[in-house]
Structure 1
Amino acid sequence: MQERLAGKSILVTGAGSGIGKAVATRFAHEGAAVVFSDRDGAAAHRAAASCRDAIGVELDVSDEGSVERAYAEIAGRGIALDVVVANAGVQLFGHDAPVADLDLDVWKRTLDVNLTGTFLTVKHAVRALRGRGGSIILTGSPTGLTGEGAEFTAYSTTKAGIHGLTRTVAAAYAREGIRANAVVPGYTETPLVTSISDDPESRAAIVSRIPLGRPGTPADVEGIMVFLASDEAAFATGSLFRVDGGMTTL
């Protein structure tokens, strides 16, 4: 297999499980040196152990001190990053709700991880990439584009914010050779969504809204992430790349 990312060093947040782990593992198989990071440091180290030329780093995206320490550890190991994937996120099923029913604490907890955490990851990514350029990839959601997330006010709002942050960062740093794009996975079965995938009625309802007729898997997201991390995407910035089985076409 051609190694499309040979010679690149990549940081992925939320890489202890789900989409983040799958994407980081694919990056390693494509020849990249990969930093698996996660709030659960043990999970990050376990995931990295299965790949060549990979390390695990504990990183809580909602805590700027933790973010700064992680980037400093990466630099201290002599790793000059080329790509950062801001993927870490939460969805508080059973707590997130339509706006009139949403507790302030749930709102704050979701924003702290999803939006503030993405902001902090990208802030320090830009600092790490300056002078050389590179690619920043953010993980969005159809809930930030359509009414798909009507029952999840906090989550949907954070994802809409991530889409806006993508465009802002792309515009601000294009002349420095730093690209920013968002990947927008549809309903993807990972540990994040077990409250849906374990409920046959809920699962059937959401799958019925996907024109391709099936849920997504983490593997479905890998290819577009590899493209955006690679030099093949050198002219792509400020865009949202939908990998949702057609969900947002409805």
Structure 2
Amino acid sequence: MTGRLAGKTALVTGAGSGIGRSVAERFAREDAAVVFSDRDIQAARDAAAPFPTAIAVRLDIADEASVEAAFAVMDAAGKTPDVVVANAGVQLFGQDAKIADLDLEVWQRTVDINLTGTFLTTKHAVRAMLGRGGSIILTGSPTGLNGEGADFTAYSSTKAGIHGLGRTVAAAYADQGIRVNTVVPGYTETPLVTAISGDPESRAAIVGRIPLGRPGQASDVEGIMVYLASDESSFATGATFRVDGGMTSL
């Protein structure tokens, strides 16, 4: 049986672990030719290894030269992307804080990676898709929608910026057949959030605010990502898709 993404080439950033890896692996199982990209090239290679049509590319989203180089490698390999998932990011537990306590260095690092990195990924994705069309999927967060991130000023602000970026780019390039949507995972237990998942009290507090009564898993996000990557979502752009167990519905 042919997968839902047969004939498509997809780039996923942050594909060495967590949500990015889960989504990239699912895309590959849906018969996409997947580019697993990560700042940690060995992690990307390990993730890509089981899939014959996949390649791994080193990509530091905060460095435009690195982003340009990654797209050039893809082009040289005949893998011009039909789908780009801008997923890579950081959440600096123990450093990010309420604004009065937040160091400028932590703010800047978070902005550089999360917001500027998503900008650079999206910029070069659009350039690669001009004249062809395609689907760009951004990874947002409930912290960009409500008060979930009160203690994470930098992270929450960058995610709110990503939501705005997605709407703006969607409006600017809809007439070029380039769709841009944002997926909002809720609290998802990946290596990014071990500071919460490893602390029973903190974990219980956040899970207690999820109506479905459990934390998310990386696999919970795969389905909506496949939908947005596929032609099934051809009339969806500029939208926000929440996969958060109901956390932001209250």
Same fold? TM cut 0.5:
yes
Counterpart residue number, 2:71: 71
| 1: CA distance, partners of 2:61 / 2:223 | 25
What aligned pairs does 1:1-250 form with structure 2 within 5 A after superposition? 2-250=2-250
Aligned mates of 2:90, 2:163 — CA distance in 1: 16
Instruction: State the alpha-carbon separation in 2 of the partners of residues 108 and 196 from structure 1.
Output: 23
Q: Deviations over 1:137-173 (max 9, x none)?
A: 0000000000000000000000000000000000000
CA distance in 1, matches of 2:197, 2:183: 22
- Cα distance in 2 for partners of 1:94, 1:146 equals 21
* Letter of the 2:108 counterpart: K
Question: Distance between the aligned counterparts of 1:68 and 1:102, measured in 2?
Answer: 32
**Secondary structure of 1:85's match?**
strand
Please report the TM-score for the alignment, with normalisation by the length of structure 1.
0.99
Deviations 1:183-231 (A, max 9, x none): 0000000000000000000000000000000000000000000000000
**Aligned partners of 1:2 and 1:106: how far apart in 2?**
46
Separation in 1, partners of 2:219, 2:73: 29
Report Cα offsets for 1:11-51 as digits up to 9, x if no partner.
Answer: 00000000000000000000000000000011111110022
Query: CA–CA distance in 1 between the matches of 2:157 and 2:89?
Result: 13
CA–CA separation in structure 2 for the residues paired with 1:79 and 1:68? 14
What is the distance in 2 between the residues matched to 1:78 and 1:227?
Answer: 24
- C-alpha deviations, 1:45-104, integer Å up to 9, x for none? 111002231010000000000000000000011112100000000000000000000000
Consecutive unaligned residues of structure 2, counting only runs of 5 or more, are none
Q: Distance in 2 between matches of 1:210 and 1:51?
A: 35
State the alpha-carbon separation in 2 of the partners of residues 54 and 72 from structure 1: 16
Percent identical pairs in the alignment equals 75
**RMSD between aligned alpha carbons?**
0.6
Question: Within 2, Cα distance between the matches of 1:120 and 1:184?
Answer: 20
